[in-house]
Amino acid sequence: MSFLTAINHLLNFIAPALVLALLQVAGSQLFMRKMAVAHGWTVPIALLSIVGCTVLAGGVLLLGRDGQMLTYGVLVLATAGAHWLWLRAWR
């Protein structure tokens, strides 16, 4: 496998986590403006991306394959929970 092919595989592996993080932060800026404005964009996107990549890596380790729907479901729940905690939405 060449270097560029390896980079392509890595980017395709983490793309769902990055896109989901961007969509969640954009949605919170749109729908939960009072809570989300104080936190900005970059730190929540980075935090949710790290959580998402960790979940995706865990899914590969536990299930033995990338792209399992169970992994994607856990990805959505884990990033939503992390975002909920980050915004302190329980208040």
Domains of the chain by residue range: 17-87
pTM of the model: 0.88
Tens-level pLDDT at each residue, the chain (91 residues): 899 999 999 999 999 999 999 999 999 888 877 766 667 789 999 999 999 999 999 999 999 988 889 999 999 999 999 999 988 877 7
> Residue 88: its pLDDT value, please?
82
CA 49/CA 79 separation, integer angstroms: 8
CA-CA-CA-CA dihedral for 36, 13, 53, 56, to nearest 10: 120
